[in-house]
Chains A and B, each alone.
Chain A
Amino acid sequence: MTRVVELQRGLLEKNDDLASGLRARYQRAGVRVANWVSAPGTGKTALLEAMLTAAAARGLSAAALVGDCATDNDARRLARSGALVRQIVTESMCHLEADMIDRHLTGWDLAEIDLLVIENVGNLVCPTAFDLGEGQRVALLSVTEGEDKPVKYPQLFHSSDLVVITKSDLAAATEWDRAAAHAAIRAVHPSAVIVETSARSGAGVEDLLDLHLAVPATQPVPSQEAT
């Protein structure tokens, strides 16, 4: 005898439940949380180091969780800014999940933190499916990547309200086509906010920090699932 049991559970239910719990914690603590997603080599860590340094100069308390498959190189770089920093080593995992964030927040007093940035594993596909409870998902794209990357990886850019162009100091050398890059972003996300930055020159870093602080700690990210 066999019987059929109706389950009707979301495939990502475990992660989504944990992420909802994290979001409630962030809201209670009043901490703004951003989830940075890009390809490897876009310059997330260099830009984050510059933004965390700018935050410290304004007297803000900033923190970062940084995901990589191996090494704590990025955490050691970021710690120079004076921010609270923890490395998440994912080993073979290509993305961060909510339970990894939960475990790595242990011992931090979120109420003492103004801004938490989660630097995801360099990957344009897999991190898109996993809600980390963030208030803002941020997609990053360098001028050394193709201008059409947003239309090649639409789900990330569609689900990110803020799109950051990095390495703008190299734009002339790489003959980067600003109009084409902006058009590609607009094609997948007509209302996205776009900011151009350079970690090397510091251009756009203060604007980027302002955009992170402008998001209320209560704003939910668009969920991939309708239900």
Chain B
Amino acid sequence: MHELAITQGVVETITERLPGARVRAVRLEIGALSGVVTDSVRFCFDLVTEGTNLAGASLDIDEPPGRCRCRGCGLEFSSADALPLCPCGSADAEVLSGQELRIISVRVA
């Protein structure tokens, strides 16, 4: 459940950047290969925003899919797995996208 700590970090970052702002919506980017479970973040979000400037805000999460390139055969392939495995059998793959963990933007009143 490190999603709880991560979600608390989101709230802290936003309240520090925008002190006093009434936040209506938050947009995050959590890649499919990031190891962070988006459903857990959604579950934690309402709990950790309670009593803060983010209380009641909606949460949108973009989930970029995993894209990898095999260092062995050079093939580019999709992967939903935290351990990308090339169809050629190699696990030595470079992750091109899917590891994103970012706060993109917030909508304030």
Contacts and interface: CB of A to CB of B under 8 A. Distances in A.
B54 to A, nearest CB: 13
Interface string B8-34: 011011100110010010001010001
Interface in A125-146: 125-126, 128-130
Q: Chain B: interface secondary structure?
A: mixed
Contacts of B102: 8-11, 227
Which interface residue of A7, A93, A187 has the most chain B CB atoms within 10 A? A7
Contact of B13 (A5, A9, A128): A9
Nearest to B6: A11
Q: How large is the interface on B (under 10, 10 to 19, 20 to 34, 35 or more residues)?
A: 20 to 34
A3 B6 contact: no
B103 A2 contact: no
A15 B9 contact: yes
B35 A128 contact: yes
A10 B107 CA distance: 18
A158 B1 CA distance: 20
Contacts of A13: 9, 13
Interface of B: 1-2, 5-6, 9-10, 12-14, 17-18, 21, 24, 28, 30, 34-36, 82-83, 91-92, 95, 99-109
Q: Shortest 10 CB-CB distances between A and B: which pairs?
A: A154-B83, A126-B2, A11-B101, A7-B103, A9-B103, A6-B105, A4-B107, A155-B35, A187-B91, A4-B105
28 contacts: A1-B109, A3-B108, A4-B106, A5-B18, A5-B107, A6-B105, A7-B17, A7-B104, A7-B105, A8-B102, A9-B17, A9-B103, A10-B101, A11-B9, A11-B10, A11-B28, A11-B102, A126-B1, A128-B35, A129-B2, A129-B6, A129-B35, A129-B36, A130-B2, A151-B83, A154-B82, A187-B83, A226-B99
